[in-house]
Structure 1
Amino acid sequence: MTIHAFVEGFWPPIVVTVIVVLLVIAGLIPPKLGTAVAGMDAILEIVTGMIGMMHHYYFNGLPTFWTYVGAVMGTLEAIPLGFVIIYVILLWRRGEIRTELQKTIVTYALVAGIGGGIGVVAFGASLINLPLLNYFLHGAQTTMAHVHLAFPLAYGLPSILMWVVAFALSGGFSDGDLRYMRWAAIIIGVGFYLQALLSLVPLGVLQFIYEFKYGYWFIKTIITPSGHSGFWELPLVDEFVWLRMIGVLVAALGFAIVLYLECSLGLGRH
């Protein structure tokens, strides 16, 4: 509950405000719109974010009412940023996003907003907060799928974007560097989705199947009390575990691009 209190009521307003400020700096949205978005988000974080955290009440044994309320309310805080993203997409389609810095900020905002948003809503509020599924899958690999899509994309990419913009505005990054940084964001997003879709979600489905067959205890085992192989020693499970390496390597490529450009800048390349 402590971690999700941060997730629902503390970290999002920081990330949303950072993205809005960067969009204003790049001339993509007017300052008044940015102020309205930040203000609306601040209100929603207080009104819906902390209530959204209360889906944990269900996990602690209270009525299912709390998981429905928490799952729905916990997603409302993203609405202001969603409108901004739609606004920016319209600008892009109208050809009003011209500079490499503008394109880079928009790319990061889209990968973080859409990719991270799907991780939050589809793989979080929908997949693991539904009482029917949560009863069987609490603490299963479906939770890991949610975390791997929500945290690095919704929070990690905006963090990288902050210093990318700082370097670009100070003359450290050229237009060519910014193009590479855009590809890095897309590659990182693809890498984490491959981890979820090729490994973590299938493992969660397998856990769901074996829990129905043997019980919740079995999906947590390496060796059963009788000495037989547990869930994590099953051959199919082992294959899905190793399939995660595909996504890991793809994401690593994206991070390698980021680190290379940062290190080369630090070594005085420009």
Structure 2
Amino acid sequence: MIAQPLTDFSRLSINDATTKVQWTLEEEIRGYADMGIHGISIWRDKLEACGVSKAAQLLRDNNMTVTGVCRGGMFPATTREARKAAVEDNWRAIDDAAQLNAQCLVLVVGGLPEHSKDIAGARQMVLDGMHGIVEHARQAGMPLAIEPLHPMYAADRACVNTMGQANDLCDVLGEGVGIALDVFHVWWDPELKKQIQRAGKERLLAFHICDWRMPMSDMLLDRAMMGDGVIDIPLIRSWVEAEGYQGFHEVEIFSADHWWKKPAEEVLQVCKERYLTVV
């Protein structure tokens, strides 16, 4: 299957990390809408600075859809008290996401606890933590989107690193749990197509796009604009959409030395151009 060409911006969303430095959340909501972009994914630090109630009103006033709230997760910890605190923080994140009518709460599940080398134990803590929040999420009507991160982040950010691992968690946790697929993190996986098919429409909650630069100067803060790297984004999009995914395509670019140094309007204009030509 070949991905159908994109002809408008009705399914374009911007993760506000893409304009992290340039704009506040209020400026992002108004600025994205002014440029004809009506999808936004919001990081919790910006949400806290703005205030949830104010943000919700701004989103309504500007006809914005919240494609995700970033982030929940970060479950593994060295003490029972810290793991309990993580669960309680996720409850708050679920409530905030529900107030914004977000399409999902994205979970970056967390890496190894301090001084630990037990990745299997960390993954068990992730499962235990998710058991502690899934019922709260169901009651709030907030889907939980596990985001598998590239293995280079296994130690510090996410010990769930493949779509297969995310699907395994979904199998155990059941209703209300799905996956946020970020091409940056999973493009390399030889089982990617198979695991997308395994996930199917019900589990594919979010689709994040950017590109993998060669060479990369920083493993966190040097993501490339779509078309400036090695990821076959249209191919992966075709696999996702073959399963029935018709949601937003969310641009998420961490770029300390390049895109964060440019005016937000310029970044967004390039996002729009590349969206129609290379995605």
> Which bracket does the TM-score occupy, shorter chain normalised?
under 0.3
TM-score by length of 2: 0.25
TM-score by length of 1: 0.26
Largest Rg, 1 or 2: 1
- The one of the two structures with greater contact order (alpha-carbon pairs below 8 A, sep at least 6) is 2
Structure in which a larger fraction of residues adopt helix: 1
Structure in which a larger fraction of residues adopt strand: 2
